[in-house]
Structure 1
């Protein structure tokens, strides 16, 4: 089990909290590993990356997943090429830091992008980048996402049908699925039907909760609308043995992460 510390994003990005301090918290609350975002990483110089790696290892931690934000649905072909170069760099960073997974996204729902074109561009670029992940031994995982703070628009594949179409289009690649438990509800759909369609390709889970259908409002895990027991039961029936990565965004700090870990463990045991 790992955790992407949404509640701490602002502090880590600003430097108020260091990556070492986040790793220390992860060890204290009993995580098996921590997750990072590429926005936490200041550069890719050898000295800096060695320090990040050593800081994490000194706390007895490793990196399960790094989240990155490619935008392959951008209407400008030159920008899509830039996005590919950025993602190549992020794969190299993840490899250098010994991260197991790199979470990738389709891109933003740009008003100028037609759905059919966007799907085509995303699938094409995912197919191009999959061998790069293989080369560097970083497992790429595609998420049913909503909207990161670093984007202007919501995710192009926030609508469940677009996510499933893209997932189907890359099934012959090594790219796995990072299924987020809250984002389907945040779109206005139910997670179980969507999960069933990608179940055999799910390698990581973003365990998140939302209080509102049709909108992402992070709450403590178990306090919102996500049917965790049913989701975990389905995963167990399919013999899921991947990582559960808690997306803790309730803004309740370390205690929120502790409660989320306890909730996941108890709910998984009962499922």
Structure 2
């Protein structure tokens, strides 16, 4: 049966930018939920010091949870080779972090969709960088997971492989037992596409999942398109919401994942409106998992 983890979507600025929240506080909040683990983020301020890693792992495990997944955002589509080499070194650092925390899955991304980049060139650059990182991950029993992403919180341009045809092309370019997909259904909506159509194409490669539901506070997807280029992070009109109350059809999603034998981690991206909301999302997903597995 799949296991549930949670990600601190509501506290990213506090944990990664201004330090107004400590990781120990998030651990206490998350461990009070009916979940099995905590998805980590490589950009947590307190994680830049390696000497902190063991103590955070201990705090989580002392609460009966684990840290199965690492969320990080390498930028592998930069045209400069020296820049990409630095991103590969960052990815190795994050792989080390995942290993030290006892995790099994470390995210990779394609990179930013820079206007001058062709699809073929971007796929080639991203695939080469990911393949370079795989032996390092394999030596530490870590699986690299490529997410159908929208945009990192701190990026200027959207994800290069945001559209499913580009994403599938990149996935098909990397075939290895230590590489798979982290499926996020909400991000397909932001690409103007059907998340189920994407899932049916890549379900056999899915090894982890982000559970989310996404809403536009105002306007349309087309309005979002006009705003997303050249702005840092997420557009203001974009909002995460309570799982099960948005646009995603979790019955069809879970039916397909069950069909292909998925039995791994589902991490919840929710709670932007408070921990009560996150608790309701946990309850919804637990019921759905019990229904399908």
Q: Normalised by the shorter chain, which TM-score bucket?
A: over 0.9
2:156 matches 1:152: yes
User: Which residue does 1:252 correspond to in 2?
Assistant: 273
CA 21–121 in structure 1, closer or farther in 2 if over 3 Å, else same: same
- 1:219-261 CA-partner distances (Å, limit 9, x unpaired): 111121111111011111222111111111x512211210111
1:1-271 superposed matches below 5 A: 1-13=4-16, 14-172=18-176, 174-212=178-216, 214=221, 216-248=238-270, 250-271=271-292
Q: Distance in 2 between matches of 1:196 and 1:83?
A: 31
Offset at residue 51 of structure 1 (A) = 2.3
Query: How many pairs does the alignment contain?
Result: 270
Encode CA deviations 1:189-247: one digit per residue, 9 max, x unaligned.
00111111111111101011112473553111112111111101111122211111111
Deviation at 1:52, TM superposition (A): 2.0
Contact 1:19 1:56 in 2 (8 A): no
What secondary structure is seen at the aligned counterpart in 1 of 2:43? helix
Partner Cα distance (1:186, 1:227) in 2? 15
TM-score by length of 2: 0.87
| Cα distance change on mapping 1:154 and 1:65 into 2, 3 Å | same
CA-atom RMSD in angstroms: 1.7
Tell whether the 8 Å contact from 2:23 to 2:46 is kept in structure 1 after alignment.
no
Structure 1: distance between partners of 2:58 and 2:206: 30
Q: When the two structures are superposed, what TM-score results if normalisation uses the length of structure 1? A: 0.94
Runs (4+) of structure 1 exceeding 6 A deviation are: none
Deviation at 1:43, TM superposition (A): 4.8
Judged with a 3 Å threshold, the aligned counterparts in structure 2 of structure 1 residues 258 and 119 are, in CA distance, closer, same or farther, namely same
